[in-house]
Amino acid sequence: MLQKEGQVRIPAGCAISGIFHKDGTRENGTRIIDSIRTMHDRSNGLGGGFAGYGIYPEYADYYAFHVFYDTQAAKEECEREIERHFDIVNLSKIPTRRHPRITDAPMIWRYFVRPLHTKLESSQLDEREFTSRCVIRINAEGQVSYKAMLCINHTLNGAYIFSSGKNMGVFKANGFPEDVGEYYMLENYEAYSWTCHGRYPTNTPGWWGGAHPFALLDTTVVHNGEISSYDANRRFIEMFGYSCDLLTDTEVITYLFDLLVRRHGFSQEMAAHIMTASAWDEIDAMEPERAAFETALRCVYSSALINGPMSVILGSDEGLLALNDRLKLRALMAGEKGRMVYLASEQAAIEIVCPEVENVRSIDGGVPFVVQLDEVAARKKLESAENRPAKDKLHAQITGVMPSEHKKKEA
């Protein structure tokens, strides 16, 4: 019998990659598959996955639920639960092709939905909070979560919503990532932003739901590493009603970003800064006003601090954010060419898809590396700088990629 998350330890590592068009131009999934294929030896076939943004322009105003089902009974029960809270405007199987190395596939369905007006009004929640609560319950497989609106992922055994954002989708499976991309026929999808992950699990067995990216609404995370602060982070996030039932550090990182950005109102940059906050000796050397601010962050969000080796790519409808642990214990490279930005665990994975790439460098430890859509960057420039960490370092990054030597001069 296949063991699930938390029942076995398999020491290992992972590969991550990303391709982003700042001007919103879309491309199919061919190059992102080629990029992750270059890092084949970083994976062991126990999980691979992709996230694409901008892939459903005809349903851009609807939440796209991608769902795994173990049984027909689970599908019927899940659909009844979805219909209790959402208007389903379209549903279908997610197209796949037979692949010799992708086996034991669950039923994989896609639903385009919007919250029922009466349910949304009676919940007294905003649309995104309503939807996120209605997604979380299905993942917990029969436990009880907070409040009645934490609907599906926490209570329905055999059903798992693994993607739930607007105009985006996650595609993942148990297998090598390049095989997963071929299985889902990603050459038929076009996105302005792609991220991907090749899994080599550190603590858990390979199964379809445990593959990366992890997603909640339009936030997706691919992660290489193993955070030693998992238990502290998990206990902290569960105080706010999240249910960390997959027992993986990547799930915790995803929920931390969702909590800090969507619910607490921080920018993505500030959320990343909280997770990799300044060390106490660094704070002691700061100007008093800045030191007081950093001290407050560390005290209020002490359990959101992430320790241990990690490299992360956060995807959202704004763009990509790359983050390394403060000690830079995992590799993560960036490069650019024209209006495009590339991220990967290895430089070769960038050069294979863009041989003429420029300004290739390593992401600095503990400093969020931000690239955004041009329209988002223009809007952010007009906003207050109060929600930016280390404003002297990050202001120039708000509009896109900043050369590493520039950052060093400002440090």
Residues annotated as catalytic are 14
- Any idea of the CA torsion for 23, 25, 30, 33, to the nearest 10 degrees? 30
The DSSP annotation for 308-348 comes to SSEEEEEE-SSEEEEEE-TT--S--EEEEETTEEEEESSHH
CA distance 196 to 166: 18
Run of H or E including 406: helix 404-410
> How far is CA 209 from each of CA 8, 42, 346, 395, rounded to the nearest angstrom?
16, 20, 26, 37
CA distance 132 to 153: 10
Query: 193 near 19, Cβ under 8 Å?
Result: yes
CA neighbours closer than 13 Å in the CB half-sphere of residue 314: 31
Buried b / exposed e along 133-161 (16+ C-beta atoms within 10 A): bbbbbbbbbeeebbeebbbbbbbbebbbb
Instruction: Give residue for tokens 């991608």.
Output: 66
CA distance 314 to 20: 12
Buried b / exposed e along 214-231 (16+ C-beta atoms within 10 A): bbbbbbbbbbbbbbebbe
Q: Name residues whose C-beta falls within 8 Å of residue 295's C-beta, 6 or more positions apart in sequence.
A: 283
CA distance 367 to 407: 10
